Structure 1
């Protein structure tokens, strides 16, 4: 069985393919033969060198899908041949998030899924319907579920909402598709006209290039007739947060997800208080939320936006491509033998 492990090279960790033995199943575990994987910006953060946290030998990635090939003696509700996705937080299965759940994140505190086989607890997977392909399923555990929790579990987005989305990455495009499925109005900002055109094809109502319109918060207020937006999918971090706060409507909700421009934003608490605004910190979701999302995806016939597919043997190239930020949507890996650009 082959798996990737992170090994330090100069100023970062890179994924290296190694041979590993097959892990014996415990009674409550299943073994998954993985078929497909997808990358997230989080994977780049984890692979960056940090003198306080060693990633040496870590199996990367939280997202993937495959077929159950073996079950432990105490596994009664799952069977060989079912397609499943491991969940992002191994221990957050239902109910409210607890702080210790952070230590169960795959590809971070726990070994990830970038391997030919994954052994995991029977309650830490979601069964994927046959109508959803292995590749599509592999994009769901982190990016899609993050957008789902942000918009619907925490944000209560509906047809009366106006959502501002920053960028065209995986979380952003899932949020766009989810929002349009419930007929919410969507304003999307990007630095690329080509990416804005793709967002328009997916239903974005207002498009703003923040390179040519650096004061995009003023433009958002203008197109909303001075009201602002009810929801903001905040993906930028310190460089974008002040402008997000400026164009948030009274009673609005900033759904804090990304740190693309770093850490340590200073929040204008007076502005937030004066408009009765809310900041919701979002970190993926539970297995229960994942299962609810699957139902929604099927009902609305939503397909993930997959930009590029690399073969399993080219994980390092996939990491580099993600880091280049050329993509829209998801960057994926499969067992296939060739690179495909969609």
Structure 2
């Protein structure tokens, strides 16, 4: 089969080649990949800044995929040939709290990912793809949508009438805005682009703050909430800005730390965290059962993924370059022709 292989760190070392088509073992599905979507995790793996010591050589990257089951191993009962399924990043995290070794079983690193014509997914990990979505749309769900859903609904216990802060207009943030607005919450977004903030209003954002125009953007968020702060913050930036997220979040509020776009380390000011009694919760996607709960919600509320651009399979490098520039919504690669 055709596959993109990461031979070494750096986008120039992502090369298309041919490898043997995998054979499904007991409990496994062989999936003909229809489309994949890119996440910052995928870029960080290629760049060598995401657990580089764990990255195998000649890795097939990209975790998020959708495709059709074309063969099954012995004992498969959850799915049948012809079913359309999504991958799920943490392939062994099915329900409840994560185990200590979940990252050892992630698609796209260290397990082979979806940037190939076929991939193996265990039946227990696979999720039935929404019937009303195209392959391109469904491919965006496993990390971006599910991270937003889990942070807001399972961890944040979001209630109608509460307020959510999202950072930027990438995949996780746009999904969070859509889900929160559909649930009856108010959404405030930050961005460096007034144009993107204007576009985000179509997807549930009610107020926007340009953090270049307002470097002390947390003050603007406090002003928009009458000095109270937001109930839940989806922090995709990390770095020193986490201190601003603390200030922008209400007393006893929740910060869902889902990303590290501006840095993997921060010097956290503890007194505001203590006095505001802030909960800072790391979010690494979610269990499969959360995915199972999310898809009916998306269907019920007519939520469609926001895709910035779809690339062809031969254009994987260009797709990653687009991701590096900062898309509005998701970047997708169509695999099946």
TM-score (norm 1): 0.94
Equivalent residue for 1:295? 296
1:8 matched to 2:4: no
Whether the 8 Å CA contact 2:35–2:139 is kept in 1: the answer is: yes
CA drift of 1:96 comes to 1.4
Unaligned runs of 5+ in 1: 338-342
Equivalent residue for 1:224? 225
SS at match of 1:66: strand
CA drift of 1:14 comes to 3.5
Whether the 8 Å CA contact 2:313–2:334 is kept in 1: the answer is: yes
Rounded Cα–Cα distance in structure 2 between residues aligned with 1:71 and 1:95: 27
* 1:184-223 equivalence runs, <5 A: 184-223=185-224
Once structures 1 and 2 are overlaid, which stretch shifts more, 124-133 or 165-174?
124-133
Rounded Cα–Cα distance in structure 2 between residues aligned with 1:53 and 1:33: 26
SS at match of 2:239: coil
Equivalent residue for 2:21? 22
* 1:106-255 equivalence runs, <5 A: 106-255=107-256
Relative to structure 1, is the Cα distance of residues 24 and 52 closer, same or farther in structure 2, using a 3 angstrom cutoff?
closer
1:94 matched to 2:95: yes
SS at match of 1:296: helix
Whether the 8 Å CA contact 1:13–1:55 is kept in 2: the answer is: no
1:332 matched to 2:322: no
Whether the 8 Å CA contact 1:13–1:48 is kept in 2: the answer is: no
Rounded Cα–Cα distance in structure 1 between residues aligned with 2:328 and 2:37: 13
Whether the 8 Å CA contact 1:63–1:88 is kept in 2: the answer is: yes
SS at match of 1:284: coil
CA drift of 1:8 comes to 2.5
Whether the 8 Å CA contact 1:68–1:80 is kept in 2: the answer is: yes
Report the count of equivalent residues.
335
Rounded Cα–Cα distance in structure 2 between residues aligned with 1:223 and 1:286: 34
Relative to structure 1, is the Cα distance of residues 293 and 206 closer, same or farther in structure 2, using a 3 angstrom cutoff?
same
Unaligned runs of 5+ in 2: none
TM-score (norm 2): 0.96
Rounded Cα–Cα distance in structure 2 between residues aligned with 1:25 and 1:53: 24
